[in-house]
Amino acid sequence: MKTAILYREELKEYDFGLGHPFAGDRFKVFMDFFREHLSQDDFQVVEPQYATDDDLLLVHSREYVNFVESFYRTAALGLGWHSSGLYISGDNIPGPGAGKLNEAARLVAGSSKLAGELSWEGKFDQAIAIGGGLHHATSSFGEGFCIYNDVAICAKNLKQNHGLERILILDTDAHGGNGTAKIFYQDSNVLFIDLHQDPRTIYPGIGFAHEIGSGAGEGYTVNVPMPLYAGYDSYQLVFDEIVFPLAEEFKPQIIIRNGGSDPHFADELTQLGLTLEGFRMIGQRVRELAKLCGGKSVDLIASGYNLKVLPLAWLSLICGLTGKEVQLEEPFPVPERLKKDQALAETGEVMKEIKECLKSHWKCFENAS
């Protein structure tokens, strides 16, 4: 079977305007690069549909959906600004030249929902939604360039409408997925593992190892705060010591991974240390993980804030996920200090802290010391 690439040109409207870090040209830049480097015999581009109100209401409040509908239609006219703080943060307010954000946000949500269904139903080897992974939005608040939380919509749809009971969400975005964490914080049907830069050094400032869920969901939120400049070896260690043991015990029915290129050493908003080979490794490890659930995996890719890095890192992820071989060169010289993963020892200490926090919830960590 082929790999589904969910994409349509209207994604370019997910654009907050001039000077904003998140512009809609990223999607065309990537798709042009993708088509130049990978054989279309192995992939099928699938056009997603816009999310309906019912889709959005799986996760978001009616008040928030109504606000988004009206605010983004009127904001371009200079109207509605006074009420924005109730429902969105300042970094979600559009500026001059912004796209049709309400429509585009619905398209992202519809795309990720469909990707989950295509994978679960076994229609493709993998389903990759370009534009997905807007993990900062909560049920009633948009922030961090995220309007609707498509990651949560994908998972909630599979849970509520398709009967899944064990969903693994693996978030490898450099920023902590605070919205996704909050939505599933008390839910034992969703194991949320989040690899992100140390929250003491980056937005959104949460996602520490001791934040492990509550109530029925205690132990099912796993935060992995990566030390500054953590690279290939550190990420490999996290997969070996945290991700794989938990996944093997949890036995997911499907895996949803989200995250783009912002853990790259040359990203303009972050301070991690991955190279292109590191992104390929993440894709490979997710492909290995998916063997636990019959190969059923969804990938949601949107983030990254250096356009010279973004298409290469996204393609590296996809090559790892699919096993395709493409020779890609780093767009910038790797700094000497990053050629060896200087953060590995510190990452090892983080592993000990995580296991200590979780050992009463998971057998794989019960002997951790």
Q: Is 78 exposed, middle or buried (0-12, 13-18, 19+ CB in 10 A)?
A: exposed
Question: Residue 320 phi/psi, 5° resolution?
Answer: -65, -40
Higher pLDDT, 53 or 86: 53
- Arithmetic mean of pLDDT, 87-97: 92
Convert the pLDDT of each residue in 332-354 to its tens digit: 999 998 999 999 999 999 999 99
- Of these residues, 135, 136, 175, 196, which one is catalytic? 136
- Assess whether pLDDT exceeds 90 at residue 79: no
Ordered by where they begin, the domains of the chain are 3-365 (3.40.800.20)
The pLDDT-based confidence of 83 (bands split at 50, 70, 90) is low
Is 136 an annotated catalytic residue? yes
Q: Within a 13 Å sphere around the CA of 228, how many CA atoms are in the beta-carbon half?
A: 6
297, β-bridge pairs: 255
Query: Tens digits of per-residue pLDDT, 303-331?
Result: 999 999 999 999 999 999 999 999 999 99
pLDDT above 70 as % of the chain: 97
User: pLDDT tens digits, residue range 197-223?
Assistant: 999 999 999 999 999 999 999 999 999
Average pLDDT score over the chain = 96
Between 90 and 355, the more confident residue is 355
Query: Which pTM was predicted?
Result: 0.97
pLDDT higher than 90, residue 368: no
